[in-house]
């Protein structure tokens, strides 16, 4: 072209840098033990192995930044011990870059990406590789994505569906919205984004805040220039294939390309990346030479519609994911720094936002079982869902009250979708008695 006891991580820090901005909150970076190898364009996510939260890195490109340096290596970082371990290689035929990794119900799905041949020709992938963190093994591939894709926006909605939005497919950007249901192992097409260069992009990144997907930046297919475009898509919770797309005001700062993206409360964060688009070797498409990363974290508050920009952060680009640790903590590993340096660095990023509207609303949202009745208290204008641990919806509603729920004894997840688009979730235990 994603709870860990904070001291368990912080005691591993090699150094501490703190950056502040009054508009949204405070940022803090902690250096963690380096990866065993330098790698960029690696797909990153988090999942549990037993009771331990771990960070996973899949595929990527090594220090030479040549086609031969693109690989299928897989790594796991134990957040309790601070140790990196090698995992079995991703089960593909050739090295991959620009893929995405997401975790649903503690299964990791590595989707898409592209292969680079010795003659520099590129082939987009339709593979969906599935990793089981509990056994540290690769399972049988899931159903292939209908349209091969790379450098796409990849985000999880409602802990149940995986959205793959736009991206590059062999010869150009596509406007497709491809939605994967892991419980059914099926792909369906959602409402496509408008078929224009303002919407179709590769190297963009995004995240859900409630039912709304925000994605920013990336490169259009006309000029191969990075953009500052901000788009949003509102998912119909009653039919997630229906999405209402809308262009928002552009991000007021420099363009963004291959940024990591995370959600914290009402805020979406875009981390690192570059202002100039480049190929896998970090050389600009526009002929200007080697690209330097920006040192920016851009924060968008979906409640206030305000942007904040944090500067003078660690310089890193070529990020294809971020591992969630908690609602306000993430781990970034690898990437490209200054002068085409492929990085081994691992960072813990902490964002401490100001108290948000959603936090106030969340205090008002609760539920409990009383026999076969589910007693619900939610703020006016909210809606709720009750899911089992496989992600299957057991019941839902749009009001407070007492509701009869036909479900067996066990643990359930109660999710409240708040009026501002945020969501709040709690685990409920249902006993076996009446």
Per-residue confidence at 360, pLDDT binned at 50, 70, 90? very low
Query: Does 273 share its domain with 385?
Result: no
pLDDT over threshold 80, residue 92: yes
pLDDT over threshold 60, residue 14: no
Q: Tokens 């990336």 — which residue?
A: 218
The per-residue pLDDT for 8 is 28
Per-residue confidence at 432, pLDDT binned at 50, 70, 90? low
Query: Does 154 share its domain with 92?
Result: yes
Sequence-separated (6 or more) residues with CB below 8 Å from residue 108: 45, 47, 56, 58, 101, 102, 130, 131, 132, 133
Sequence-separated (6 or more) residues with CB below 8 Å from residue 285: 219, 224, 225, 277, 278, 279
What integer is the mean pLDDT of 213-217? 99
CATH of the domain at 405: 2.60.40.1270
Query: Does 125 share its domain with 12?
Result: yes
Query: Does 379 share its domain with 330?
Result: no
Last residue of some domain: 299, 333, 354?
Answer: 354
The per-residue pLDDT for 253 is 93
Last residue of some domain: 291, 321, 354?
Answer: 354
What integer is the mean pLDDT of 47-69? 98
Q: What is the C-alpha to C-alpha distance for residues 382 and 93, in angstroms, rounded to an integer?
A: 47
Query: Does 37 share its domain with 180?
Result: yes
Query: Does 346 share its domain with 260?
Result: yes
The per-residue pLDDT for 420 is 60
Q: Structure pTM?
A: 0.80
- Identify whether 50 is part of a domain: yes
Domain that holds residue 423: 358-430
Query: Does 367 share its domain with 327?
Result: no
Share of the chain above pLDDT 90, in %: 73
The per-residue pLDDT for 24 is 56
Per-residue confidence at 17, pLDDT binned at 50, 70, 90? very low
Query: Does 336 share its domain with 385?
Result: no
- Identify whether 270 is part of a domain: yes
Pick from 90-99, 260-269, 295-304, 420-429: least confident: 420-429
Per the structure, how many domains does the chain have?
2
The per-residue pLDDT for 364 is 60
Query: Does 290 share its domain with 387?
Result: no
- Identify whether 158 is part of a domain: yes
Pick from 38-42, 271-275, 310-314, 368-372: least confident: 368-372
* pLDDT tens profile 396-424: 998 888 888 888 888 888 888 777 656 67
- Identify whether 1 is part of a domain: no
Query: Does 129 share its domain with 186?
Result: yes
* pLDDT tens profile 217-230: 999 877 899 999 99
Per-residue confidence at 22, pLDDT binned at 50, 70, 90? very low
What's the mean per-residue pLDDT of the chain?
A: 89
Query: Does 238 share its domain with 381?
Result: no
- Identify whether 23 is part of a domain: yes
Pick from 17-31, 102-116, 190-204, 359-373: least confident: 17-31
What integer is the mean pLDDT of 386-393? 78
Q: Tokens 């803090």 — which residue?
A: 28
β-pairing verdict for 306-310 and 320-321? unpaired
* pLDDT tens profile 235-287: 999 999 999 999 999 999 999 999 999 999 999 999 999 999 999 999 999 99
CATH of the domain at 126: 2.120.10.80
pLDDT over threshold 70, residue 11: no
What is the dihedral angle through the alpha carbons of 361, 362, 363, 366, rounded to the nearest 10 degrees? 120
* pLDDT tens profile 345-358: 999 999 987 644 44
Last residue of some domain: 320, 336, 354?
Answer: 354
Query: Does 187 share its domain with 73?
Result: yes
The per-residue pLDDT for 209 is 96
Q: Which long-range contacts (CB under 8 A, 24 or more apart) does 211-215 make?
A: 211/157, 211/158, 211/235, 211/236, 211/237, 211/417, 211/421, 212/302, 212/421, 213/153, 213/155, 213/157, 213/163, 213/165, 213/243, 214/248, 214/268, 214/300, 214/302, 215/153, 215/155, 215/165, 215/166, 215/261
């Amino acid at each position: 072209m994603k709870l860990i006891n904070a001291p368990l991580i912080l005691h591993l820090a090699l150094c501490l840098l703190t950056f502040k901005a009054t508009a949204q909150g405070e940022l803090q970076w902690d250096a963690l033990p380096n990866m065993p190898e330098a790698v960029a364009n690696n797909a990153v996510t988090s999942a549990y192995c037993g009771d331990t939260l771990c960070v996973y890195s899949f595929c990527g490109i090594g220090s030479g930044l040549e086609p031969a340096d693109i690989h299928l290596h897989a790594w796991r970082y134990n957040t309790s011990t601070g140790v990196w371990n090698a995992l079995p290689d991703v089960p593909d035929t050739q090295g991959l870059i620009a893929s995405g990794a997401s975790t649903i119900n503690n299964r990791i799905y590595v989707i898409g990406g592209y292969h680079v041949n010795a003659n520099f020709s590129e082939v987009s992938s339709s593979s969906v590789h599935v990793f089981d963190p509990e056994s540290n093994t690769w399972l049988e591939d899931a159903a292939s994505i209908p349209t091969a894709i790379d450098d796409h926006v990849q985000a999880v909605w409602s802990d149940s569906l995986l959205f793959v939005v736009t991206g590059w497919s062999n010869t150009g950007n596509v406007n497709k919205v491809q939605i994967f249901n892991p419980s059914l192992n099926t792909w369906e097409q959602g409402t496509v984004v408008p078929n224009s260069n303002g919407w179709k992009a590769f190297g963009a990144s995004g995240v859900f805040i409630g039912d709304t997907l925000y994605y920013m930046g990336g490169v259009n297919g006309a000029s191969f220039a990075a953009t500052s475009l901000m788009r949003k898509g509102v998912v119909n919770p009653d039919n997630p294939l229906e999405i209402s797309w809308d262009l928002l005001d552009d991000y007021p700062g420099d363009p963004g390309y291959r940024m990591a993206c995370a959600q914290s409360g009402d805020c979406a964060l875009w981390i690192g990346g570059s202002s100039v688009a480049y190929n896998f070797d970090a050389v600009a498409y526009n002929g200007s030479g080697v690209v330097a990363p920006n040192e920016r974290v851009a924060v968008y508050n979906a409640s206030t519609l305000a942007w904040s920009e944090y500067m003078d952060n660690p310089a890193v680009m070529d990020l294809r994911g971020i591992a969630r640790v908690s609602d306000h903590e993430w781990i970034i590993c690898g990437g490209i720094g200054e002068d085409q340096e492929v990085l081994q660095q691992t960072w813990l990023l902490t964002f401490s936002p100001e108290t948000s509207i959603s936090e106030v609303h969340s205090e008002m949202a609760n539920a409990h079982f009383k026999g076969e009745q589910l007693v619900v208290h939610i703020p006016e204008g909210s809606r709720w869902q009750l899911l089992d641990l496989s992600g299957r919806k057991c019941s839902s509603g749009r009001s407070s009250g007492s509701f009869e729920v036909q479900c067996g004894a066990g643990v359930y997840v109660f999710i409240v979708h708040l009026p501002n688009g945020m969501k709040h979730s709690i685990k409920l235990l249902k006993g076996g008695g009446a």
